């Protein structure tokens, strides 16, 4: 990465990066619909931090590098956290973890220090406030200072205590992660697909979306769970170490992850991280790393915080899991703006906890850069453990008849010519009446961020279009119950009768 050498270019790049990161923050935190991988987001964030370090006068409080998370949505009431909820800095590989351990050791000097290692649960942050032992409020992290009040939804999660054992406690706030077990995630996606709704991308999105439902009954049906790992003000309870915090939470009736160790030195930290990578697939829940903390709260206070994260803790992120499979087809998807996007369709393979069978190849230039062809044995992964990605082909296994792929010169949906504007990488269909564009516009209109029609997924909209019930967005407002209840889903029952949406 080459940084700009003049201030004008630096300002332009900083503004562009901030706008891009703010967009992805909103998609991730507010809409539970990430568009890029964690690794891609981290790369953008690092570039912005380096630019701000090189041009300190460009730093301001509104920069994504100075903020945690995202502001609350209008759907839930806002909650001001009594004590700020920070995010964690990431160590993306062993070298970065070692560098952090060395910085901590230098800060501590000759004094003895121990580390607590905890599995990093791939869920959504949660803060629970209790008053005299009774659950008073549950909140999301939000931007770290203000979150969303989700008390009604959190109270129906089975392992969230509504009453603690000790009513004499006064006020105490505990923090942790709300997550969806792997088995529950698989069951939920099967239910989504059965009714034609969009399946969730991963358990983290499923958990975040489930806890932010308008109806707590839906949350209760989603089989969520929690692991609690922090207390906002532990010294008020006479606690002096992170290991004491975990013990107190366990004794108070909270669900605390059992896979936690206290390490007397850095080698123990490295060994725990290595074992966690080996064990991640066998766990009944998703993890994407290990959180390493100084055990002593006094040393934590001494090291303090940056604007976003504690200096006394780090999240060691696992490298993406990679699998091989066979590329069977490169299919063109036409978006609502007319952009033609090639999609790789390959033999299904399980990666990072879920089965994937397709991934975007972005554009023709990217396909040629990676040199992937139909019939190739390809390497796939979930970038950031979220978004399926094709890394490339194993050339030694390439079939002799594999052909270089070319973008079609006509739209596969309407047959009109496609074109590529100078300076752009995308080919486009410019026919506004293109059926594929119309369908994508309808799906977008019904989706989150627009009408947000519960259950109105791609398959149902496609069937409504096929049967002449939907032509443009105005038709959503005149859809009747009868048209939906009798909608033919294009499948047959065992007795040969058609499957209809209303089940009759």
Catalytic residue among 120, 293, 308, 370: 120
Radius of gyration of the chain (CA): 25
Rounded Cα gap, residues 80 and 232, in angstroms: 13
Instruction: Indicate the SS3 state at residue 93.
Output: coil
- What phi and psi values does residue 380 have, to the nearest 5 degrees? -125, 155
Rounded Cα gap, residues 103 and 89, in angstroms: 14
Count of other CB atoms within 10 angstroms of residue 281:
12
Helix/strand/coil percent split, the chain, to 5: 35, 25, 40
Under 8 Å between Cβ of 378 and 344: yes
Under 8 Å between Cβ of 294 and 288: no
Q: Confirm whether 182 is a catalytic residue.
A: no
Q: Which helix H or strand E contains 467, and what residues bound it?
A: none
Q: Name the burial class of residue 80, with classes exposed (0-12), middle (13-18) and buried (19+) by CB atoms within 10 angstroms of its CB.
A: exposed
- Output the 3-class SS for 178-224: EECCHHHHHHHHHHHHHCCCCCCCCHHHHHHHHHCCCCHHHHHHCCC
**DSSP per-residue string spanning 338-400:** SEEEEEEEEEEEEETTEEEEEEE--SHHHHHHHT--TT-EEEEEEETTTEEEEEEE-GGG--T
Rounded Cα gap, residues 94 and 222, in angstroms: 36
Residue 147: which of 205, 74, 71, 91 has the closest Cα? 71
Tokens of 37: 């991988």
Rounded Cα gap, residues 72 and 236, in angstroms: 29
Active-site residues, by number, are 120
């Amino acid at each position: 990465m080459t940084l700009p050498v003049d201030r004008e270019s630096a300002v332009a790049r900083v503004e562009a990066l901030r706008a891009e990161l703010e967009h992805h923050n909103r998609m991730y935190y507010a809409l539970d619909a990430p568009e890029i991988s964690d690794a891609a987001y981290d790369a953008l964030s690092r570039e912005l931090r380096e630019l701000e370090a090189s041009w300190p006068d460009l730093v301001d409080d509104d920069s994504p590098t100075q903020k945690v998370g995202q502001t609350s949505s209008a759907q839930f009431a806002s909650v001001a956290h009594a004590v700020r909820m920070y995010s964690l800095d990431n160590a993306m590989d062993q070298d970065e973890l070692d560098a952090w351990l060395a910085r901590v050791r230098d800060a501590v000097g000759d004094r003895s220090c121990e580390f607590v290692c905890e599995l990093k649960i791939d869920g959504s942050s949660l803060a629970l406030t209790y008053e005299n032992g009774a659950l008073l409020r549950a909140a999301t992290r939000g931007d770290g200072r203000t979150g969303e009040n989700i008390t009604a939804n959190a109270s129906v999660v089975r392992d969230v205590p509504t009453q603690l054992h000790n009513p004499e406690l006064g006020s105490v706030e505990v923090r942790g992660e709300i997550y969806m077990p792997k088995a529950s995630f698989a069951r939920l996606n099967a239910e989504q697909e059965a009714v034609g709704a969009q399946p969730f991308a991963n358990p983290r999105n499923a958990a975040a979306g489930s806890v932010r439902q308008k109806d707590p009954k839906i949350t209760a049906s989603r089989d969520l769970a929690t692991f609690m790992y922090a207390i906002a003000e532990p010294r008020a309870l006479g606690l002096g170490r992170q290991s004491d915090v975990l013990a107190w939470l366990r004794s108070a009736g909270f669900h605390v992850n059992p896979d936690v160790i206290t390490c007397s030195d850095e080698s123990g930290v490295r060994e725990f991280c290595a074992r966690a990578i080996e064990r991640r697939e066998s766990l009944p829940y998703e993890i994407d790393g290990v959180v390493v903390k100084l055990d002593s709260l006094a040393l934590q206070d001494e090291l303090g915080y940056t604007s976003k994260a504690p200096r006394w803790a780090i999240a060691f992120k696992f490298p993406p899991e990679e699998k091989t499979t066979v590329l069977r087809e490169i299919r063109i998807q036409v978006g609502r703006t007319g952009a033609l996007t090639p999609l790789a369709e390959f033999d299904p393979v399980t990666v990072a906890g879920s089965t994937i069978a397709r991934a975007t190849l972005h554009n023709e230039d990217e396909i040629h850069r990676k040199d992937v062809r139909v019939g190739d044995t390809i390497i796939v992964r979930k970038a950031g453990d979220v978004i399926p990605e094709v890394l490339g082909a194993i050339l030694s296994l390439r079939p002799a008849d594999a052909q270089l792929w070319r973008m079609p010169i006509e739209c596969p949906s309407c047959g009109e010519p496609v074109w590529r504007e100078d300076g752009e990488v995308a080919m486009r269909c410019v026919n506004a009446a293109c059926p594929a564009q119309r369908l994508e516009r309808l799906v977008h209109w019904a989706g989150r961020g627009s009408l947000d029609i519960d259950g109105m997924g791609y398959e149902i909209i496609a069937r409504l279009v096929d049967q002449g019930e939907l032509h443009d967005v105005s038709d959503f407002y005149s859809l009747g119950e009868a048209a939906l209840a009798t909608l033919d889903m294009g499948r047959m029952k065992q007795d040969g009768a058609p499957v209809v949406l209303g089940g009759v």
